[in-house]
Amino acid sequence: MITVHTVLDLQAQITRLKAENQSIGFVPTMGALHEGHLSLMRKAKEEQDVLVVSIFVNPLQFGPGEDYDTYPRTIDKDKELLSQIGADVLFMPSVKEMYPRPLHTSVSVQKGADVLCGKSRPGHFDGVLTVVLKLFQLVQPHAAYFGKKDAQQVAVIQNMVEDFHIPVKIVPVDTVRERDGLAVSSRNVRLTPEERKEAPHLYQSLQLALTLIQHGTTNCDVIKEKMREYLKQHTSGEIDYIDILTFPTLTALSEVRGTIIIAIAVQFSEARLIDNVIVDIAYEKGEVSCIARS
């Protein structure tokens, strides 16, 4: 594995790979790697000739009072995992390298950022898209791999790629879960032992929503209220949001139909957890078909 820290060194590696007609799979991360990240990398290695990974904790996507300074940084462990999985290039820039001067231009999300996580984190997805666009420009990947756990992120990135005709295929990869259903996340380590026991109920609330739909409940407000009651009964966390939206356009619904996302966020004492399912809803002869994608 070749590790580079500067834009010039990365560009030299990309130029070499392109000259060799190697297809590039790209997985951008903020480090603190876990099985969820590794599943993206395995997928990229299956489909592309080489795997490029970035580790960069992007300050633009953290708001005031958020956990930028305390975000877990486990570089030695991350490098070991990347070597084991067979990453070809690791790009690990400093903040100064990525932002050598105050930005004169940035990306602003016009639709899809004022719901779910974006509703309580204004400017977050502007920061995400700005750094992702910069990384796409530098890495020039054939395909980039993102986890469905961060489904809103997947949606806004897909929309940016389509809006700007960026020549990269976005590949969403299914959420990796612990045996009890909890979505794997770098923030799970911040849960107290009691909260860790409660956390799987986030996924169970999503399963409750699917069961309700399969049994004929189509009103979004009714489904959300049942989920809220379940989470209040089974967790001590504060519910940030429960929502049902179209996907990937992320618009509001009154009745479930088409492709939707059912998403939740719960704030525990030291960790904010998110989870979701993306579902295809179809009606035939008065019966509802509910097929989960993640």
Q: Is 186 annotated as a binding residue?
A: yes
Structural domain ending residue among the three candidates 173, 200, 229: 173
**Burial per residue of 249-261, b for 16 or more beta-carbon CB atoms within 10 angstroms, e otherwise:** ebeebeebeeebb
Q: Is 65 annotated as a binding residue?
A: no
How much is the average pLDDT of 233-241? 96
Does the residue 178 lie in any domain?
no
Distance, CA of 248 to CA of 254 (rounded, Å)? 17
Q: Is 34 annotated as a binding residue?
A: yes
More confident residue, 169 or 215: 169
Q: How many domains does the chain have?
A: 2
Q: List active site positions.
A: 37
Whether 49 and 125 share a structural domain: yes
Q: Name residue 288's amino acid.
A: V
Q: Look at residue 291 in the predicted model and tell me its pLDDT.
A: 72
More confident residue, 249 or 92: 92
Torsion of CA 17, 97, 156, 105, to 10 degrees: -120
Q: Is 153 annotated as a binding residue?
A: yes
Whether 132 and 17 share a structural domain: yes
Do the beta carbons of residue 148 and residue 293 sit within 8 Å?
Answer: yes
Q: Look at residue 294 in the predicted model and tell me its pLDDT.
A: 64
pTM: 0.90
pLDDT (tens digit, 9 = 90+) per residue, 200-223? 999 999 999 999 999 999 999 999
Whether 18 and 97 share a structural domain: yes
Q: Is 194 annotated as a binding residue?
A: no
Q: Is 96 annotated as a binding residue?
A: no
Does the residue 180 lie in any domain?
no
How much is the average pLDDT of 173-191? 92
Q: Look at residue 134 in the predicted model and tell me its pLDDT.
A: 97
Whether 157 and 272 share a structural domain: no
Q: Could you list the residue range(s) of the whole structural domain that residue 130 is in?
A: 2-173
